[in-house]
Amino acid sequence: MTAIGIDLVPWLVGELAGLADDHPLLDVLIIDETSRLKDPSGKRARALLKVAGRFRTRWGLTGTPRPNSSMDLFMPAAVVTDGALWGRAFVPWQKQHFRPRDPFGREWMALPGAEAKIAASFGMVAMTVADEDMPDLPPLNIVETHLQLPDAVMASYRAMARELLTTAEGRTIEAASPLIATGKLAQMANGFLYDTGNDDAVFVHDLKIEWLRELVESLDGEPLLIAYEFIEDLRTIRRALGEVPVLGGPTSAAESARLVAAWNAGSLPLLAFHPAAAGHGINLQYGGSRMAWLSPSWSAELTQQAIARIYRPGQTRHVTIHVCVAMRTVDEMKRDRVLGKMSAQEAFRRHLEQI
């Protein structure tokens, strides 16, 4: 058996090129977390699709088969079925079942009846495990804490949302586009604002870090995983709570493995992580049952996968996920998009109506 990380898939495809079709390495292909292949233009998915047919048996495993929309099903299905289900070309299939939601084709929506048709078709090649067949898990509770930002901060926030510029600590900070402004608004909700780069952050408020500090104190030493979004969030966490170890970012694979082992052994009271770097393939259920998010994530997939690091077989304690939401900010937009299953466009429209 040969096991590799998903980032090495293009390398593996190159290594397999010179092997005969009856080579043992081309016997069975098992892909863990197939949702990571959902991007039709991704190098890993396209590389695997080129050689999928050479494997005699192919299996894909995931707990989030369609993290954002039914379009996420196409590429994993193309690889696992070698194109037998819907073909190998994404764009024609996309146009057959979806239409653009906006003139630029940034978002797509399913045509009438397409979702049911796709689900029925995918069900022919998919097999699920019923809840009653899964190992018993303890209760899962998601607790939201809503914070009201000060009037002065909200005034600056509205200026950025409407005029693409605002003032913080005497500095005027601009956003080059509405898309960049959305990122700036998320920063302001968290308590800071990047000016010229990731090393140049301007203070906006400290409500969220105070929320986290109070949460840590209330747990009285109970282990806590802390999800952060921006590198400045991590810096703020460390300024408030000390040199908290972190999974992701500059942490090496060897150090990450050491931290995971230390966490599961109960040796780490606090462990920070970025959902994009530690949302898949890591078992953290033995070291604690509480997780804190300084803000909701933009991604339903990363949210579900991150929670599944501690809410999985082997967990014996009640799991509590604490989420901090700044009211009337993009935090609510992100929460609605992920937890409310709303489209990003509808969530943003509602958000603009409230500010």
Q: Please tell me the predicted confidence (pLDDT) of residue 133.
A: 65
Is the predicted pLDDT of residue 347 greater than 60, yes or no? no
Q: Quick one: pLDDT band at residue 346, thresholds 50, 70, 90?
A: very low
Computed over every residue of the chain, the mean pLDDT equals: 88
- Tokens linked to 175: 């956003």
For the ranges 75-79, 190-194, 249-253, 261-265, the lowest mean pLDDT is seen at 249-253
Is the predicted pLDDT of residue 240 greater than 80, yes or no? yes
Strand runs labelled E in the chain: 28-32, 57-61, 98-100, 108-110, 140-147, 165-168, 171-174, 192-197, 200-203, 224-227, 246-247, 270-273, 290-293, 319-326
Q: What is the mean pLDDT of residues 122-128?
A: 83
Q: How far apart are CA 326 and CA 334, in angstroms?
A: 11
Q: How far apart are CA 39 and CA 73, in angstroms?
A: 10
Domain map (residue ranges) of the chain: 6-128, 140-354
Domain spanning 140-354, CATH class: alpha beta
Q: What is the mean pLDDT of residues 326-342?
A: 82
What digits encode the pLDDT tens for the residues 22-41? 888 888 999 988 888 889 98
What digits encode the pLDDT tens for the residues 159-209? 999 999 999 888 999 998 888 999 999 999 999 999 887 788 999 999 999
